[in-house]
Amino acid sequence: MVRIEHIGIAVKELDQANELFKKLFGEASYKEETVESEHVTTSFFKIGPNKIELLEAKADESAIAKYINKKGEGIHHIAFEVDDILAEMERLRGEGFQLINDQPKKGADNKLVCFLHPKTTNGVLVELCQEIK
Ligand code: ZN
């Protein structure tokens, strides 16, 4: 793994959260993007070399809606940048981690992504992401 790419935060209302995080960081979100396949709208902030992703559910079947219903708003996942997502998925499978998706999916921000099940990572939802070149 290369580095932490971003931290994902589940929010109920993106407009309200955008305003709040703009105040917190002193800078507005630089990008909003809806990922139809995941039923979420995302908003990205840059803080120096780091990124924060806010996620709002667009439908009840969205994983974000389920998460908020169960746990409320808050930190949802940590995303790690990888150079070769297929190789990293293979390696982690071999180490006994449970992958939520068998194949990388197209995520927000021009990335291929794969999630690790929190039950095999001490309760932390881990996202692997590789930039699509
Ligand atoms: Zn993410």
Give the pLDDT confidence of 87-128 residue by residue, as tens digits. Answer: 999 999 999 999 999 999 999 889 999 999 999 999 999 999
N-to-C CA span, the chain: 18
Residue 49 DSSP code: T
CA of 79 to the centre of ligand 1 (A): 6
Average pLDDT over residues 66-83: 97
CA of 6 to the centre of ligand 1 (A): 6
Question: Order of strands across the sheet with 31-35?
Answer: 31-35, 40-47, 50-57, 3-11, 74-81, 126-131, 111-116, 105-106
Does the predicted TM-score (pTM) go above 0.85? yes
CA of 95 to the centre of ligand 1 (A): 23
Is the confidence at residue 133, as pLDDT, over 90? no
pLDDT classification of 58: cutoffs 50, 70, 90: very high
Q: What is the pLDDT of residue 105?
A: 94
Residue 32, token pair as written in the block: 């909003």
Average pLDDT over residues 74-81: 97
Q: How far apart are CA 62 and CA 122, in angstroms?
A: 23
Average pLDDT over residues 54-73: 96
Q: Give the H or E element holding residue 23.
A: helix 14-25
CA of 85 to the centre of ligand 1 (A): 14
Average pLDDT over residues 69-83: 97
DSSP string computed for 85-127: HHHHHHHHHHTTPPBS-SS-EE-SSSEEEEEE-GGGTTT--EE
CA of 94 to the centre of ligand 1 (A): 23
